[in-house]
Amino acid sequence: MFFRVASLLLIVTLLGCSAQNLDLLASITSSTGQLLGGITKLPLVRQITQVSGDLLADTVNLVTTVPLSLVRSLGVSYGFPTLVSDTNSVELTNRIINEFTEGLSNEDINLTIIDLVSKYGYPIEKHMVETQDGYFLTMHRIPNDNASAVFLMHGLLGSSDDWVVSGPVSALAYLLADEGYDVWMGNARGNKHSRFHNTFDTSEADFWDFSWHEIGIYDLPAMINYVLLATKSSRLKYIGHSQGTTAFFVMASERPDYNNKISLMIALSPVAFMNHVKSPIVRLTAPGAPFLHNIMKGLGLYEVLPDNAATKLLRQLLCRAERLAEILCTNFVFLALGFDFEQLNVTNLPVLYGHMPSGASGKQFAHYAQGIVSGDFRQFDYGDMVNAVVYGEKRPPSYALENVRAPVAMFYSEADWLADPRDVNQLYNKLTNVIDLYKVPHEQFSHLDFIVAKDFKTLIYSRIRKLLWTFQKYDFE
């Protein structure tokens, strides 16, 4: 089964290519010889080849250059972090390999979030929340009685683990708990902590029929209501990363009464408009993703990256065998989002790899991919005919961002491969209640750095702390 998932993922990556991306990768050169043989022998690839003709050969060439160029990026290449020059790349390579190897013996790699948080001396609770449409979601809480509740919502392929994996020195959940906040961490339907439904099983298509639209209109409201009830508060502070911001904007647009339950929303790397996404893999994949989502569904594959097993095969197929390539290519999440070597805690990388990715529905990817192609922030596109039935018109309706009335603080960075500053600016212009727009003062700050950067405390947390403090008084009115 996992092999099928991995093959499909590979094909998703392969077929997603289109001519418009050629120039993006034109400047990356590499030799892909032996890899090609292995890939084209896969039965599923052969099957798809019959459909797609010559496209495959070209695409395999392009796609395999991406991970290789990651390694090359230690020198110079297009679009990748180039903090390091050719001259010191050997030293850097050795340093990364040594730190990573040291990190491999860290027992945190295999600890669950409950054991991890307990190990570092914090209380931890687990709560179950049922949504209006029957999903059971797990919430984790580091309790602080009678304190302001802060709700943390992870990104695509993430989980509540994201907020603790970088350890007690830098992880947001611990920093907030130290500050005296009541920390609640959500989990979207379909991730490793939220895999139950009152009718459907995860092996059934119906379970996976959701994107971040449903996370926004069902999951967030259910979890927010639960927290408000449990803490006897009328409002909470919301901090989201990436998809955790997308789903929030969906909720605040589609269910505007929920704006009253949010005293402050902090958007770490806000994702709504996606015209300018930089990630080569994401751009390559986007044009074909909705099409492939259909193929995948046809084959009974609804879930993307349930664990690291699929990623391992992907890596074997796409990455070179040498040690550094292996380290960098191990995790699809990093592969797609890029590395910021200055902020990457390499010693902790094995722990991150042990806790993410956490699973998501193929439809979540397809919905994002549609946004990259359409340039709009709008509901899922089922094609003209089905749209007419579902929405009463051929085009999916855009989200009414003018409904977002909760105060929003936006954190973004120049080098973010997903939330490009130009897209963040477009969102900023649509929102009417942005109270802070903060560009992280670190040039190579990456999408994942918003949760795992070495300097998280100084670059991100110090600002969060001030914002929370400023809006402190509004929660128990």
Active site residues: 242, 447
> Measured in Å, how far apart are the chain's first and last C-alpha atoms?
52
CB 84, CB 48: distance < 8 Å: no
Smallest gap from residue 426 Cβ to ligand NAG (A):
33
Contacts of residue 350, Cβ cutoff 8 Å, sequence gap at least 6: 100, 103, 104, 106, 109
Site pattern 433..472 for ligand NAG (x: CB under 6 A): ---------------------x------------------
How many residues lie near ligand NAG (CB under 6 A)?
16
Smallest gap from residue 120 Cβ to ligand NAG (A):
11
Question: What is the rounded distance in angstroms from the CA atom of residue 219 to the CA atom of residue 372?
Answer: 24
Q: What does the DSSP 8-state code read for residue 348? A: G
> Would you mind telling me the total number of residues written for the chain in this entry?
477
Q: Which of 52, 202, 259, 347 binds ligand NAG (CB under 6 A)?
A: 347
Site pattern 262..281 for ligand NAG (x: CB under 6 A): --------------------
Reduce the secondary structure of 12-53 to three states and give it as a string: HHHHCCCHHHHHHHCCCCCCCHHHHHHHHCCHHHHHHHHHHC
> Binding of ligand NAG at residue 109 (CB under 6 A)?
yes
For 23-181, where are the E strands, in sequence order? 125-130, 135-142, 149-153
Question: What is the rounded distance in angstroms from the CA atom of residue 386 to the CA atom of residue 404?
Answer: 28
Nearer to ligand NAG, 193 or 454 (CB): 454
CB 101, CB 123: distance < 8 Å: no
Nearer to ligand NAG, 339 or 368 (CB): 339
Segment interacting with ligand NAG, rule: CB under 6 A, options 165-173, 212-220, 249-257, 286-294: 165-173
Smallest gap from residue 351 Cβ to ligand NAG (A):
6
Q: Which of 169, 205, 386, 400 binds ligand NAG (CB under 6 A)?
A: 169
Smallest gap from residue 186 Cβ to ligand NAG (A):
23
> Which of 22, 44, 7 has its CA nearest to residue 280?
22
Q: Which of 54, 145, 257, 477 binds ligand NAG (CB under 6 A)?
A: 145
Paired with 434 in beta bridges are 408
Segment interacting with ligand NAG, rule: CB under 6 A, options 131-139, 242-250, 281-289, 346-354: 346-354
Q: For the chain, state the CA radius of gyration.
A: 21
CB 198, CB 134: distance < 8 Å: yes
> Binding of ligand NAG at residue 477 (CB under 6 A)?
no
Q: Which of 98, 146, 294, 462 binds ligand NAG (CB under 6 A)?
A: 146
Q: Is 9 helix (H, G, I), strand (E, B) or coil?
A: helix
Q: Which of 13, 77, 170, 263 binds ligand NAG (CB under 6 A)?
A: 170
| CA angle (126, 129, 134) in 5-degree steps | 140
Question: What is the rounded distance in angstroms from the CA atom of residue 394 to the CA atom of residue 390?
Answer: 9
> Binding of ligand NAG at residue 343 (CB under 6 A)?
no
Smallest gap from residue 391 Cβ to ligand NAG (A):
46
Nearer to ligand NAG, 347 or 426 (CB): 347
CB 173, CB 460: distance < 8 Å: no
Give kind and range of the element (H or E) at residue 140.
strand 135-142
Q: Can you read off the two tokens belonging to residue 34?
A: 């032996």
Smallest gap from residue 409 Cβ to ligand NAG (A):
23
> Binding of ligand NAG at residue 61 (CB under 6 A)?
no
Q: Which residues bind ligand NAG (CB under 6 A)?
A: 105-107, 109-110, 145-146, 166-167, 169-170, 345, 347-348, 351, 454
